[in-house]
Structure 1
Amino acid sequence: MNRKPDINLMIAGNTQISLIPGITSAGKTPDLTFLTPALDSEILVEGECKSLDVPPMTPDGLPTPSLIARACLDISGLETLVVDGGMGIKPKCAYLHTDLNPARDGRKEMALPQASLAVSTGRYIGKTLLKNGRSIMISESIPGGTTTAQSVLSLLGLDIKTSSSFRINPTNLKSDVIEEMIQRHGIQNDPLKSISRVGDYTQEIALGIISENEDSRIVLSGGTQMATIYYIASSMKLPVDNLEVWTTKQVMKDSRKTMEYLVDPDHLRFSRTDLTKSRFDGIRRFEDGYVKEGAGMGGSMVLAEMEASTERIIKSIDDVYESFM
């Protein structure tokens, strides 16, 4: 089905896991990862950074993927509604208030003390938006989210490696962190218990939305984080017939086996735009395996590819990137 979704719903939040040095590149320093979701929200909603003079960068100097997402959403005409999935710093733009706090460090305590609020928030959003066959795209901005996703899968007894925003996945560090979580909480046979102990609120909100779906189409725009949500929704017997995952070719190149294990390949789609055609090194380097995904980059690119040529997409990306320089 090629009909585009009616709205992009970006769940933006934080987890204390992102404060672990070396766990994520979604911020120039671990402390700045708590600002990234707010800035991504401002970029997608307002087209500018209001909480900082420059967009968030990786330690290697690559820009946030929300710049690419914004450029591609401009082509498709899809508007973004930001949902507060526990942001530590609130954005200076319109967003849906939820009263959620950042997820905690699952090595030390239960990660999601507000799990029931997150699920009920998702169900409310689902009841509100999924009417009359309306279609939605769900994206995310949560630094450290690939680690919380792998943590949830590990507590369910699965030996699966998620991708990473770093060019070289810090698999040993992730494994050490997750081993501490398993020692504290033990293996779980219940997905919601696993999420509440080591996950993040993005997962709970998304599952709440999916649980309210009857016959609408839901696109999960993201990489191994969204693939994990698809897998858990399927294991919980939630409706997945109209559930798809749209991601980037960079994620597929890095983690194809993981993506195809977690998601029915018939429900999986990925972008094909060649970013090496950009005028800017910061954009071209995405093709080298840096960042890979985030802020709905994959789904936004797939949408743009439905309507525009590669040349037009690259021009839009370059224009947006240049406007932030």
Structure 2
Amino acid sequence: MRVLLPAGTTETALIDGISAAGAAPELMEHTPSADVEILEYGRPTTAPVTPVSPNGCPTPAAVTRAVREVIGFDATVVDAGLVQPTGAPTVDLGVEPGADIREPEAVPDAEAIFDRAHAFGASLPDDDLLIGETVPGGTTTALGVLTALGEPAGVSSSLPDNPIERKRRVVDEALAASDLAAGDCEGRPLAAIRAVGDPVQATVAGIAAGALESEADVTLAGGTQMIAIATALRHAGVDESLSIATTSFVADEQGDRLEEACERLDCDLTVTDPGFDAREHVAMRRYCAGEAKEGVAMGGALSLVPDGRMDDVLDRLEGVCDRLGIDPDGDPDSGPATHTEGDGGP
């Protein structure tokens, strides 16, 4: 099993009230770079931020890293539009950061990104791939793509209270800026991503399509952002078997909508409850309170944990949190205060 983590940015995340992925805009752009360093090294190295909320909720990268330390898996990071450098090794597909979706074109070279990612995915020798993502603002761009494709549109949030109406207003403005209405991109997923998406979407979709054509088993690791990717693949005519793996935190928020979406897309769904409610550590308490929920392949990584090993993962997560400077009791003055966003993020 290889875990692939495309990491990128979109200026959509800078819209007021959209993303919880940073304490300040100048820090937010470092979040994906820090995420991939945590996945690779267990802590940020060159990134000047530690993605932890003021309440002590760490980036989902901490959970994915904990799983990796317990069970081991190969991981490859793909630069899917990072605006800041990272100390982690990356595959460079020549992807630029995304623009604000309220611009006429958010990802002008969506087709070229998809083609390069497709070639990369087709070249991978692995039989089993799990593809995650880290991109601040990613659920808003997911909502944009779903709306442009004319699909039922509901997305998650890293915040306990999902600002979904704010996201819908932004998407409405974005569609108008691209001279589109809901459903105008039906059957044209790359046109949807070009207009109102982000470069990580084009990258994930391309890798997945290429790998599926090479007969690899592909799992999209995430929640509603990966629903948008699966939708794009189906609109592109990709009909191979596809799986989605996410966390119970996303499933609890989405209710029946998540299962209904997977049934509509003919995707197998795996939901993993890591049992955070059995621990008193602030990090796990904050997840149970509705923060973060998903991202950085967290749900997919948790789905790999064998029966009887989840307690080992939770023990290791406490160790990762200690490395990140998180006080286990939740003292707000003792730890960092920047937040990350993956699929669970706005």
Please indicate, yes or no, whether the TM-score normalized by the shorter chain is above 0.5: yes
C-alpha distance 50-321 of structure 1, shift in aligned 2 (>3 A): same
- In structure 2, stretches of 5+ residues that fail to align are 326-346
For residues 164-313 of structure 1, what are the structure 2 equivalents within 5 Å? 164-185=157-178, 186-187=180-181, 188=184, 189=186, 190-212=188-210, 213-214=212-213, 215-241=215-241, 243-264=242-263, 267-304=268-305, 306-313=306-313
2:22 partner SS: coil
Alpha-carbon separation, structure 1, partners of 2:291 and 2:229? 23
8 Å contact from structure 1 (residues 83, 98) kept in 2: yes
Amino acid at match of 2:157: S
List per-residue Cα deviations over 1:122-177 (Å, max 9, x = no partner): 11221211x4x611110100011000000111112334121111111111211110
C-alpha distance 139-59 of structure 1, shift in aligned 2 (>3 A): same
Task: From 66, 88, 91, give the equivalent of 2:61.
Answer: 66
8 Å contact from structure 2 (residues 22, 28) kept in 1: yes
For residues 25-104 of structure 1, what are the structure 2 equivalents within 5 Å? 25-52=20-47, 55-104=50-99
Give the aligned length: 316
8 Å contact from structure 2 (residues 56, 282) kept in 1: no
Alpha-carbon separation, structure 2, partners of 1:60 and 1:293? 17
The alpha-carbon deviation at position 76 of structure 1 amounts to 2.3
8 Å contact from structure 2 (residues 175, 195) kept in 1: no
The alpha-carbon deviation at position 30 of structure 1 amounts to 3.3
Kindly report the root-mean-square deviation, in angstroms, between the aligned alpha carbons of the 2 structures.
1.8
Query: What is the match of residue 9 of structure 1?
Result: 4
For residues 147-162 of structure 1, what are the structure 2 equivalents within 5 Å? 147-162=140-155
Confirm whether residue 140 of structure 1 aligns to residue 133 of structure 2: yes
C-alpha distance 40-136 of structure 1, shift in aligned 2 (>3 A): same
Amino acid at match of 1:170: P
8 Å contact from structure 1 (residues 25, 59) kept in 2: no
C-alpha distance 79-28 of structure 1, shift in aligned 2 (>3 A): farther
The alpha-carbon deviation at position 266 of structure 1 amounts to 6.0
Confirm whether residue 320 of structure 1 aligns to residue 320 of structure 2: yes
The alpha-carbon deviation at position 300 of structure 1 amounts to 0.9
8 Å contact from structure 2 (residues 222, 299) kept in 1: yes
Alpha-carbon separation, structure 2, partners of 1:53 and 1:152? 32
- In structure 1, stretches of 5+ residues that fail to align are 1-5
8 Å contact from structure 1 (residues 28, 57) kept in 2: no
Amino acid at match of 2:268: H
Query: What is the match of residue 330 of structure 2?
Result: none
The alpha-carbon deviation at position 71 of structure 1 amounts to 0.1
Query: What is the match of residue 3 of structure 1?
Result: none
8 Å contact from structure 2 (residues 47, 86) kept in 1: no
1:146 partner SS: helix
Alpha-carbon separation, structure 1, partners of 2:87 and 2:309? 33
1:107 partner SS: coil
8 Å contact from structure 1 (residues 279, 318) kept in 2: no
1:67 partner SS: helix
Identical columns (%): 30
* Structure with more helix by fraction: 1
List per-residue Cα deviations over 1:188-238 (Å, max 9, x = no partner): 232221111010112111221232223210010011001111122123220
Q: Could you tell me the TM-score, scaled by structure 1's length?
A: 0.92
Alpha-carbon separation, structure 1, partners of 2:25 and 2:255? 28
Alpha-carbon separation, structure 2, partners of 1:309 and 1:159? 37
Q: Which moved more, 1:133-142 or 1:44-53?
A: 44-53
